[in-house]
Every structure is written in C-alpha cells, then in structure tokens.
Amino acid sequence: MTPTWDRLWTNANLVTLRGEEGWGVVERGAIAVSGDRIGWVGPMDAFEDAAEETIDLGGLWVTPGLIDCHTHLVYAGDRSREFEMKLGGAKYEDIARAGGGILSTVKATRAASEAQLTELAARRLECLADDGATTVEVKSGYGLDLENELKQLRAARAAGALANVRVTTTLLGAHALPPEYAGDRAGYLNLVCDEMIPTAAAEGLADAVDAFCETIAFTPAETARVFEAATRHGLRVKLHADQLADTGGASLAAAHGALSADHLEYTGEAGLKAMAAAGTVAVLLPGAFYMLRETRKPPVEAMQRLGVTMALASDHNPGTSPLLSLTLTMNLACVLFGLTPAEALRGLTVNGARALGVGEDRGRLAVGQRADLAIWDIGGPAELCYRVGERLCVGRVLDGEPVS
C-alpha cells in the first residue's frame, strides 16, 4: 500500500478534548499526521491507510501539547530575598513601593546581554517542555525602555528555538514605571505608545500587547491608551486585571476585545458578564495566588455559571510565581481554586490556545489542528493533576516531528 501519511502513532490512549467539556478519551487510538497537521484521529482498529513511519506507543497516553499562555520568562537576577521578606510579613505592595519587586528585576535585566537572557530563558523553557509544553507565551516588561524591551522580545524568540518550544511574544512595556520616569507618568506612556508599540509591531517582535492595570501600576485610563495604540498597530491585547482590587480591569479588557484578562481575584459580576459577552478568556494563575498566600480566590463558580472560558498558566516570574511545572499548575488549580482535572487540562490546552488567539490552530487532538503532542506515562488523564513532582511526560511532538 502506498503511504498516505508521513507519520502514524498507534496503540495510544488519546485525550482528544473534543466537545466543550470532559476528556474525549479514545482508548487504543491512533493519530496520523501529514506535514505539520493532524489528518486522522480515532480507534487504531479503524485506521486503514499506511504511513511512512509508524510508532507504537505501547499504551502510553497522548494529549495536545500543553500551552502556557502567561509567563515572564526572560529576566536576569534573583529575588529569593524578597521571598524571605514576604514570609516575614512584608506585603507585595510594600516591596513595590519601596523600589523592590519589578524594579529590582529591571535593573538586573538591563545589565544582562541579549545572549545571557536567551540562555536563561531557554533553560526555563526546557523545564516547561519537560512537563509537556509545546507553546509558551513570553512577555517583556523588565526592560521598561525601548532598547531593553526589544532585547527581551528577541531573547524570547531565540530561546524558543533553542528549547524546541513554540514561543509567542507579548510586549508588556506598561508593567511598571521605570525610575527615570518616576515623576513623569505621561512621558513614560508616550514612550510605550509612540515608540515601543510601533517599533515592536514594525519589527515583528510582538504578537500582542499587555498592561498591568492595578492600584500599584497603571490606571484604567492609562491602560486604555496603551490598548488603543496596540490596536492602531495591528496587535491584539491582553491584561493583568483585578489581582489586588476590582479596578474595572475585566470590563476594560472586554471593551477592547482583549484575548484574555489574567489573575481576576477581585473581579465582580459585571466584569465577568462583559468578558463572557466579548469572548475574553479568564486566565487563572494559581502559582501567584499560592506564593503570595492570597485568601481571595478568583470567582470560579461565577465564571462557570456565566460561561466565561477559563485558561490556566504558570505566570512564571521571579517575584510572585517562580513556577516551572505545568502539572503542578494543574494540581494547584484543582486544590486551591476547585477546578476539576478535566477543566485544568482544558485550561492548559484548548482554552490556553484561545487565550492566545490560536484556538483554531492548536489545543485539541482533531483533524486540521497543528500536530503538537505531549506523550505521558500515566494510567489515566486525572493523574496529570494528581501526581506531584514526578516526570510524567516521556515525549513531545512539535509540528509532527518528535522533539523529545
């Protein structure tokens, strides 16, 4: 028989995530790939064609490759001392207002070369890849000037190539006010809107624009100006919203057609209704909730009731979520936020893709989707959220090619 497909995986248990809930398990299944796309998914006994290469998985489990849709992976420096301070009673707001927090990472990141940042980010990406990641969003936000924001975005792209991880990039110039603009908020917003965003867009370095809309960061009016600049230059928007207080960030994100609003611990019902109507994804970040020892949980039950799509992400960053495990992210979401294991996995696949605007391209095991797969040595999909600290991922496939 003349081969029809480039590669075929057989004797696998598939978690297809078809439909809008549940696992979509196909036992003793097969996946056929042509080029970088899935061409056939189903029971292996129903497959009648041939492939150039056939791989017998011996009963291992296959999910879509995991998608981490919110990270701050490109940075230099260490903030473990701040961790000690927080354990001693210091608050996140106190550290930030005293010039620590984000600004201490800005100083270290500005001092690092692009090559150094690329190497550091690649190591972090490799940790996520070992845990099943095939797509990772990476934000800037630790440069806070034109040169260093672009340096971060270039390092993110280069790190993805080194680690065999698909990287999407987000410009987060509106992350904090740098020290040189301490008395000139308007001047810094001019820099973000009139130089950073146009340059990143023109050079193809950013896929989206984000902002930190919060009581210790940027106001809704300032954030709206950033969003308007992003839209003028053809970039989608995302938002750090309502983490410390309900500032109306969720509603603002929805009004601007944001891909996602992230954190959302203090979001009220009006904001959630706006997100549901706009199709803005809620990205839950249990790592930051855990590390900050927060007590106000995101309104998960209201999100479920109102039909807000929920994604998960590691929020890896040096200050509030030094988390590099997506299986642990799922566990925390289940234990701390009350998600089911199926909801947690969907949050790092189907809904993570939606939060990046690539839901038609990846996130499920379905015909026409990109052939990005994660292969697991488990007895069932709930184990991905249950078994903490084990290396469960035994292989990845990126664009139809085995990469690990």
Mean pLDDT of 218-230: 98
Burial degree of 119 (CB within 10 A; 0-12, 13-18, 19+): middle
Q: For a pLDDT cut of 70, what percent of the chain falls above it?
A: 98
pLDDT for the residue numbered 155: 98
Residue 94 pLDDT greater than 80, yes or no: no
Q: pLDDT for 293-348, tens place per residue?
A: 999 999 999 999 999 999 999 999 999 999 999 999 999 999 999 999 999 999 99
Phi, psi of 252 (to 5 degrees): -60, -45
* 261 and 370 assigned to the same domain: no
* 327 and 238 assigned to the same domain: yes
Query: Is there a contact between 261 and 230 (Cβ–Cβ < 8 Å)?
Result: no
Residue 97 pLDDT greater than 80, yes or no: no
* 284 and 247 assigned to the same domain: yes
Mean pLDDT of 78-87: 85
* 147 and 170 assigned to the same domain: yes
pLDDT for the residue numbered 98: 65
Residue 388 pLDDT greater than 70, yes or no: yes
Domain containing 57 — which CATH number? Answer: 2.30.40.10
d(CA 24, CA 397): 20
* 58 and 164 assigned to the same domain: no
pLDDT for the residue numbered 246: 95
* 169 and 222 assigned to the same domain: yes
Reported as type and span, the H/E element at residue 353 is helix 350-355
Q: pLDDT for 7-59, tens place per residue?
A: 999 999 999 999 888 999 999 999 999 999 999 999 999 998 889 999 999 99
* 292 and 383 assigned to the same domain: no
d(CA 386, CA 365): 22
Nearest alpha-carbon partner for 368 in 18, 28, 14:
18
Phi, psi of 298 (to 5 degrees): -60, 150
* 40 and 169 assigned to the same domain: no
Q: What is the pTM assigned to this prediction? A: 0.96
Nearest alpha-carbon partner for 304 in 340, 266, 260, 252:
340
**3-state DSSP assignment of residue 277:** helix
Residue 88 pLDDT greater than 90, yes or no: no
Burial degree of 366 (CB within 10 A; 0-12, 13-18, 19+): middle
* 150 and 236 assigned to the same domain: yes
* 163 and 38 assigned to the same domain: no
Query: Any idea which residue has 């929920």 for tokens?
Result: 310
pLDDT for the residue numbered 92: 67
Q: Which domain, by its residues, includes 36?
A: 5-65+364-402
User: How many domains does the structure of the chain reveal?
Assistant: 2
**One-letter identity of residue 348:** L
Residue 85 neighbours by CB distance under 10 Å? 16
Q: pLDDT for 137-183, tens place per residue?
A: 999 999 999 999 999 999 999 999 999 999 999 999 999 999 999 99
* 110 and 185 assigned to the same domain: yes
* 382 and 316 assigned to the same domain: no
For helices 114-130 and 146-163, give the axis angle rounded to 10 degrees. Answer: 40
